Copies of this chain bind each other. A is one copy, B any other.
Amino acid sequence: MSDPGLACCTPLSGTAMSTEQAEQVAPLLKALADPVRLRLLSLIASSTTGEACVCDLNDAFDLTQATISHHLKVLHSVGLLDREKRGVWVYYAVRPEALTAVAGLFQTASLTPA
């Protein structure tokens, strides 16, 4: 659960998705399908250094430190975030490959000319 294949380039339209593909991508989307995790990812992605310390992330929410830690773990476990411990602090960084993998799902889908 820590090194997923990252669901590369699934079409959605074009040809139909296989059951295995769907079961591979769904956990990624499930990890993204929470407002708190979306904001966490966004906060980290929009940071100038591309990473963020947990201490800073905690302050951005009205939630317990345990809850934030849990959400970060979820994002990390599906491969969306990298985790690095530096001294006392822990820094999370977005894995661009993971995001582009998800993007691939919808990009090819938008070529249906209505």
Q: Which residues of A contact B (CB under 8 A)?
A: 11-17, 19, 22-23, 25-27, 29-30, 32-36, 38-39, 41-43, 45-46, 50, 94, 96-97, 99-100, 102-103, 106-107, 109-110, 112, 114
CA distance A100 to B25 in the complex (A): 18
Lowest 9 A-B CB distances belong to which pairs? A103-B106, A17-B42, A13-B45, A30-B33, A29-B33, A22-B35, A22-B38, A33-B33, A26-B35
A41 CB → nearest B CB, Å: 7
Chain B hits for A112, CB < 8 A? 45, 50, 94, 96
A37 CB → nearest B CB, Å: 8
